[in-house]
Structure 1
Amino acid sequence: MKSHGYPADNGYVSISHPHAARLTRDTKNKMIAGVCAGLGRTYNINVTLLRVLFVASLVLPGAQVLLYAVLWAVIPRG
């Protein structure tokens, strides 16, 4: 039996939903490749906030640009 977000008999809640949004790059609202726009649309997060956080994270050590490039390559166009 599918629970579709309702508590299951085992005490866990299923997060699968038949109409769940699929993660794709938003090529209509893109600035570079649509990665932030796609993440914002899929997870209902303000796209401007995501973009500002990404740019601000560039001053920190890490592989932010590499992560963005990987997401660009992996996430399909929407």
Structure 2
Amino acid sequence: MTHNPPYKQLRRPMTDRIIAGVASGLGRYFNVDPVLVRVIFAVATLLTAGVAALAYPIMWFLMPEEPADAPAWPTTPTQ
């Protein structure tokens, strides 16, 4: 039996990745399409002359990977 935490966890998934899973993890956490997160990253990078692109490797380093035995996403919380 796996223990489900009572809160959402920001993690990089093992599937649905393009580079490192940062955008996919943010999309899952905020319940939006990961493509939208990728577009926002791209636009922010253009608008800030590349400064926003520094956030991606920082989040890559700070966000933990999803465990291999994690349930498939999306999941519905059990009560």
Verify same fold: TM over 0.5.
Answer: yes
CA distance in structure 2 between the partners assigned to 1:51 and 1:44 by the alignment: 14
- Equivalent in the alignment of 1:44: 31
Dislocated runs of 4+, deviation >6 Å:
none
Tell me, yes or no, if structure 1 residue 58 matches structure 2 residue 41: no
Over the aligned positions, Cα root-mean-square deviation in angstroms equals 1.4
Higher relative contact order (CA 8 A, sep 6+): 2
> How much identity, in percent, do the aligned residues show?
36
- Equivalent in the alignment of 2:11: 24
CA distance in structure 1 between the partners assigned to 2:53 and 2:24 by the alignment: 16
| Larger Rg, first or second structure (1 or 2) | 1
Structure with more of its chain in helix, by fraction: 2
Give TM-score scaled by structure 2 length: 0.68
**Number of matched residues?**
61
Q: CA deviation at 1:44?
A: 0.6
Name the amino acid aligned to 1:52. Answer: V
Q: Retained in 1: the 8 A contact 2:12–2:65? A: yes
Name the amino acid aligned to 1:72. Answer: W
CA offsets 1:12-69 (integer angstroms, 9 cap, x no match):
xxxxxx5222110122111111001001111211111111111122211252121111
- Equivalent in the alignment of 1:77: 65
Give TM-score scaled by structure 1 length: 0.69
Give unmatched runs, 5+ long, in structure 2: 67-79
Name the amino acid aligned to 2:22. Answer: V
